[in-house]
Amino acid sequence: MYQANNYLNNQNNANTQGQVKIIGNYSYNLRYCLGEGAYGKVYEGVETKTQKKVAIKKMDIKSFERDTYLKNQIIAEIEILKRFNHRNIVQFIDLITTQRSLYIITEYCGNGDLRNLMQHKRLSEEQAIKIMRHIVEGFKELIKHNVIHRDLKPANILVHDGVFKIGDFGFAKYVDYSSAQMLRSCVGSPLYMAPQILKRQQYGTKCDIWSLGIIFHEMIFGDVPWKARDERELLNNIMNQPYRIKHGAKVSKFSEDVLRRMLVVDEYKRISWDQLFETFKQYEDKLPTNNNNNPNTATLPPKLTHQEPTKDYNKIQPIQPKLSKSEALKIEMNKAFVNYDTIRSEIRFRHFICVELFSQFDQNKIFIKTELIYEKFLIVLAAQVKNQSFNLMKMIRDLEARNEEFYQKSKDLQALVYSIRKENDHYNYFIDELHDSLKKKGMLEILKGEQDIAFSFQELYSESEQQKLEDKIQQYGKDISKEMLNDIKQKKLEEALRGAIMSADYIMDIIINKKKQGKGQEVNFNQIYSDKSKQLDLKNYLEKTISRIGLLQTTFQNFF
């Protein structure tokens, strides 16, 4: 969010009568609006006790009043973001909710943003690299927590006292993950969007590497590498004009190599975050000790450091004898954190789909002939979500009991536990809502009497019953998807069918990803953003979804 030139903003509003608002321990004047984004306005404010400046983002709660789950998810995720404490990430300070608004209190950045800086001066390559080092350091922390920004652009890189900070990250990502409507949309600023987002394809954390590459190019050469009048033309230019640096341009081999590796269209061939981190580390290692100039004239150390060195948790080496007990314990806890967060991502993903299918109950039932199969699928899927969340909480409690002292010092684990507990409440609430709805339809008692799923109404499950839940999810899900798509194929294709096609697609996501896990393939559920957009041609979407049935068939043949 743009926080630059607030003096000019204030001058322009000088003739407007200001109105002071007090929210909790903070106050702000409506005259001092720093900027406006998709979800609300940002004001310059102060913490009333210390008079320290803060930025206050006000979000209208009407945007979420019909989606309580979405509102609660935003609150839970912001609680996680509050715990980031890194010099290259805008600090989240507080969250305040009222009946009408959500207020997000963040660190105030008084020196503008990167967009403003580039508009007022041409950066040297050395200055561009120095800024990149700041941003890369911030991303080390984001990637450690599996945060995808998805709207990285110069205006979202804020500056304070010569330090460049990633701002406005996470919210669009978390909103998208929780809301079906947002999941189907294309978010971000087109000029900086990865081609996978422009094409409405699946994408992961590497989408931010592309955006950062565009920013790096723009800092060095003063313009973006691809231009267009609209998204379609931009995508066409990217796909048909491979990245190249103009002949004769003066740029170091380091920058040229980094840019070529960042701006690779194929996400799988694009440089990884670990490789990018290592590339800049090697660059820093070669710097002379007196290299401390920075693009904003403030003095910074030659190597950017922060409170805790970021580790590559995916490549932790076996514990060596030379490690102290506390170091070994720290590695164990870090491994546990990554494992728990992965499990949590799968649970959240399944719950999201469960909510979607429940909201489409009446529409989807039209395409299903097998009696009660849709209701049974919802029951076992919701039960398994609740069961998986319960097991995850138990694992964390066991870890806490074994290593209580370290747990008390680990903000990451504490934040994760807080979020999981909040989400667990949502899962229990949803099951109650599902059962109430089925009861009103006169189906609940009938379902409880069905021998194949009667056990799923229990509070606790044995290991064999947990496996049975999973088997039922796979069995019912496969049959529902096939029935729905076979019926849809016979009908006249019209936009009203999109929701049903999407439901079948969601169900196949659950089945296929579970089978991938069973084969030892890694599935990062935080990176699953399918091309389920309203802007996708309906005929192509149906054909693509039907083609996944073939993958389902192959998957099950290999399984049984």
Q: Which residues are catalytic?
A: 151
The stretches of 461-524 forming alpha helices (DSSP H) are 463-489, 498-518
Tell which residue, 150, 146, 166, has the closest CA to residue 86: 166
Which single residue is written with the structure tokens 């001092």?
Answer: 32
Q: Nearest CA to 197 among 220, 176, 215, 223?
A: 176
- Residue holding tokens 């199969």? 373
φ/ψ of 146, rounded to 5, equals 60, 40
Give the other-Cβ count within 10 Å of 191's Cβ.
Answer: 16
Q: What's the CA gap between 266 and 283, in Å, rounded?
A: 25
For the record, the structure tokens of 47 come out as 């913490």
Helix/strand/coil percent split, the chain, to 5: 55, 10, 35
Task: Give every CB contact of residue 276 below 8 A, 6+ residues apart in sequence.
Answer: 136, 209, 258, 261, 262
Task: State yes or no: 58 annotated in a binding site.
Answer: yes
Dihedral sign for Cα 179, 180, 181, 187, please: positive
Q: Give the strand pairing for 163-166 and 157-160.
A: antiparallel
Residue 78 and residue 92 in contact, taking contact as beta carbons nearer than 8 Å? yes
Q: Which helix (H) or strand (E) holds 53?
A: strand 52-60
Q: Which residues pair with 41 in a beta bridge?
A: 36, 58
Rounded CA separation 211/155 (Å): 12
Tokens of 2: 């743009």
Q: How far apart are CA 276 and CA 272, in angstroms?
A: 6
Binding site for ATP: which residues?
58
